Amino acid sequence: MRGLAFFSGGKDSVFAVMKARQNGVPVDYLLFNTHDFPEPNVHQINRRLVEEIARLIGIPLQVLHLEVGREYALLADLFSELDVGVVTVGNINVEDQMEWYEKLCEETGAALYAPLWAGAGGSSFLTLMNQLDAGLKAMICSIMKSALPARLLGRVIDYALAKDLLSLIDPCGEGGEYHTLVLDAPIMSGRLLIDEFSPKESKDRLMLTVERYRVEDKK
């Protein structure tokens, strides 16, 4: 039996993998899903960085494009092909998302591991503090313009910013208020240094596209 973790390169997915490793839950594959509904996955524009983060973690990355109405079938086929018996997710407090993963695992016979789950509607602030305490450095790569100021795009989350987020939104962005890319974490063999990025707008979403980056070895 092998383990698979849903993976975006963002702070919650990386932290969930860290927790899995700490608790002896196998993670043999990372899974990055692309899709076109209702809008593309915001991490798709920085897919090369997601691939770089996975490489630095040292776990093979699988990429699967999901089609409307065939999500479960496509995932079930992949789980069968890879002999996946346990699935790790980084969800924190959104009930319908958790129910989606529970149904997926029920239909595929896989066990679900959700180490960050705080319960429906639970606060994600403690999770964010734990991520910072653990040494995660995550850059905000996407914001909902109606929820957060544009100046936060490209900011690396620290304790001060975490407290500011608490006063504005769900601190971990569980409502889609923002997304992140991890630049450094204890399970990464190197850290990412962003040299240049450009903003991109799509309806209520402001995203950044990384143009140039470097990898700094930790050794």
pLDDT in tens, 151-178: 999 999 999 999 999 999 999 999 999 9
- CATH (residue range 2-217): 3.40.50.620
**pLDDT for the residue 13:** 98
Q: Please tell me the least confidently modeled range out of 32-46, 67-81, 174-188.
A: 32-46
Starting at the earlier edge strand, list the strands of the sheet with 190-202. Answer: 178-184, 137-144, 205-217, 190-202
pLDDT attached to residue 150: 96
Q: How does residue 1 score in pLDDT terms, banded at 50, 70 and 90?
A: confident
Per-residue model confidence as pLDDT tens digits over 30-50: 999 998 877 778 899 999 999
pLDDT at 118 over 80: yes
**Would you place residue 122 in the very low, low, confident or very high pLDDT band (cuts 50, 70, 90)?**
confident
Q: What average pLDDT does the chain have?
A: 95
User: Packing angle between helix 71-82 and helix 95-108, nearest 10 degrees?
Assistant: 50
Does pLDDT of 96 surpass 80? yes
Is pLDDT at 136 greater than 80 in this prediction? yes
Residue 219 has what pLDDT? Answer: 72
pLDDT of residue 134: 98
Q: What stretch of H or E contains 82?
A: helix 71-82
Q: Is the overall model pTM greater than 0.85, yes or no? A: yes
d(CA 199, CA 46) in angstroms, rounded, equals 12
